[in-house]
Amino acid sequence: MSFARSVLLRASKSQWLAGQIMSRDFARRAVKRFMPGERVEDALAAAQPLAAAGLGTVITQLGENLTALAEADAVREHYLGVYDLIKARGLPTWPSVKPTQLGLDLSPGACLANLEALAAKAEATGCFLWIDMEDSSYVDRTLDLFRKLRATHQNVGLCLQSYLRRTPQDLATLLPLKPAIRLVKGAYAEPAHVAFPDKRDVDLAFYELSVRLLEAARDGGALPVLGTHDVPLLGRIIARAAELGVKDGAYEIHMLYGIRAADQRALAAQGRKVRTLISYGAHWFPWYMRRLAERPANVWFVVKNVFA
């Protein structure tokens, strides 16, 4: 792991630094590039022109690691309302949630009940529910939640991270469920025995896992979602999909709001399913630091815009 990435990931966990930065105007200007606003209405407003351009969206309220089940109940109620807003606007938008936002640290049973309520609401509104993957300490519990949900709900997908050494085996155990899997590289600080420290190994793992998902998709056994801004890597995977006979509509490409917008539109114009991930909420500091850590060169972009 690079020194800059390590520093940014360490900074993402600092409550003191969050307090110092989040109130500053320059920080809010910088984060605006990646997040249209703190309200769900801001996210849905940003989703509208994307839909007109043929792009779907995934939206998520920032925040994790709650301290009381009442907070998890509030998050559940928030997302239940979000499904109604999406339906009322007729948007091709899917919510994505973190299990810790729904009480995983406090009560796995309560967390599962909250997820079941959201999955049922997604079905009732003709929508979908994505479950995010957090750091490696949550993987087993998150997989357990997903398996239980999939027993009664088909409209639920799960995020997996290619930098974790365990992910190939995790994927193998999930494929019998014919899952929807959003594959990302990973953005948490992890020890080398848990996650690949070298970017080349992470990229190779991403490619190999993507191909495995595409092979399953060829027979209707998975919905692969390629969550990366690495356009050359995407090109290799898309070429492999064509070789395997996997049609463009049988997999999706997800990228973050504010990153490679032109590439997102170009891929959609080529007939591929593309969704833009839009985050919102007041608790944006840890998320923003992790976004910068994915490509530390973005720090220079922020500095330039602060003083522009």
Which residues are tagged catalytic? 132, 182
Residue 213 sits at the vertex; the CA angle it makes with 130 and 187, to the nearest 5 degrees, is 55
Contact 135, 161 (CB under 8 A): no
DSSP string, 37-88: -SSHHHHHHHHHHHHHTT-EEEEEE-----SSHHHHHHHHHHHHHHHHHHHH
Cα–Cα distance measured from residue 134 to residue 146, given in angstroms and rounded to the nearest whole number: 13
3-state secondary structure of 189: coil
Which among 272, 205, 187 is positioned nearest to 235, based on CA atoms? Answer: 272
| Strands 223-227 and 56-61, sheet pairing | unpaired
Backbone φ and ψ for 50, nearest 5 degrees, come out as: -65, -40
